[in-house]
Amino acid sequence: MEKIGAIDAWATLVTPEGATQWPPEFVHIFKRYKVDRRMLEGMTLETMLAEMDEADVEIAVFSAFGYGNLHVMRNETVGETVRKHPDRFIGAGTVDPRKRPMDVAREIERLVRELGIRLVRLEPYAYGGDDYTGLPPNDKRYWPVYLKCAELGAAVAIQVGHTGPLMPSECGRPIYLDEVALAFPELVILGCHLGQPWHEEMMTLAWKHPNVYVET
């Protein structure tokens, strides 16, 4: 029987440079998981690949991450890494849906056509107007993202569930994806991190909609 390795569905390489870009709201959760030294010092790509081999991870979704003007992992680095290691990584980029719709659409076009990125990650807690509210994924400011991704055949991967960092959680209710799935039936939608404590909502949506999937 052919051996199939694990797939890491959300992997962000935190380089030493990227480790300086974490928002302060993230640090407490690193400490709770006892990975604060690791996350705040960073690692090299070579170390990441070696750890993937040791853990029998065959392929990882190599993901960009940004928060405002902070960039732990940039889209350009994702594209470059995927080009160098196409057998180990699938590229995931990110955009800010609050920007002008045409600028967002052009950026997604660049991600897919120039950088070889295959899905766009969205983190609703990061797009609120203040520190206490996020931007639920059924907000119409996301719709240019959904439309362009559907047009180009790129998936969207959306954070669902509570937010570990000290940021809003309510915007992570999976039920917000119901409207998105109805409006964009050709769009592949991944609900990332299961949706806890609303995991039953997430499972129900995946059962209901053929274009909705759960990423744990």
Residue numbers of the domain that contains 159: 121-216
- In this prediction, residues 17-36 reach a mean pLDDT of 92
Look at residue 164 and tell me if it is in a domain: yes
Do 131 and 166 sit in the same domain of this protein? Answer: yes
- In this prediction, residues 98-108 reach a mean pLDDT of 97
159 beta partners: 192
Nearest to 177 by CA among 196, 192, 162, 163: 192
Question: How confident is the model at residue 3, as a pLDDT?
Answer: 75
Do 209 and 126 sit in the same domain of this protein? Answer: yes
- In this prediction, residues 9-25 reach a mean pLDDT of 94
Look at residue 43 and tell me if it is in a domain: yes
Helix axis angle for 143-152 and 101-113, nearest 10°, is: 30
Residue predicted with more confidence, 129 or 74: 74
Q: In the chain, what is the greatest distance between 2 CA atoms, to the nearest angstrom? A: 53
Do 212 and 128 sit in the same domain of this protein? Answer: yes
**Residue 140, token pair as written in the block:** 């119409």
Look at residue 114 and tell me if it is in a domain: no
Report how far residue 123's alpha carbon sits from residue 193's, in angstroms, rounded to the nearest whole number.
11
User: Counting runs of H as helices and runs of E as strands, what totals does the chain give?
Assistant: 8, 9
Look at residue 99 and tell me if it is in a domain: no
Report how far residue 161's alpha carbon sits from residue 187's, in angstroms, rounded to the nearest whole number.
21
Query: How, if at all, do strands 189-192 and 57-63 pair?
Result: unpaired
Choosing from 94, 111, 137, the residue where a domain stops is 94
Do 88 and 131 sit in the same domain of this protein? Answer: no
pLDDT in tens, 29-49: 999 999 999 999 999 999 999
Question: How confident is the model at residue 1, as a pLDDT?
Answer: 66
Look at residue 165 and tell me if it is in a domain: yes
User: pLDDT band at 128, cuts 50/70/90?
Assistant: confident
- In this prediction, residues 196-207 reach a mean pLDDT of 96
Cα-flanking dihedrals φ and ψ of residue 125, to 5°? -65, -20
Question: How confident is the model at residue 45, as a pLDDT?
Answer: 98
Confidence check: pLDDT of 18 > 80: yes
Look at residue 68 and tell me if it is in a domain: yes
Cα torsion 143, 105, 74, 131: sign: negative
- In this prediction, residues 36-63 reach a mean pLDDT of 96
Nearest to 32 by CA among 163, 159, 165: 165
Do 59 and 127 sit in the same domain of this protein? Answer: no
Choosing from 94, 112, 142, the residue where a domain stops is 94
Domain count, the chain: 2
Look at residue 6 and tell me if it is in a domain: yes
Question: Average model confidence (pLDDT) for the chain?
Answer: 95
Tokens 């470059």 map to which residue?
80
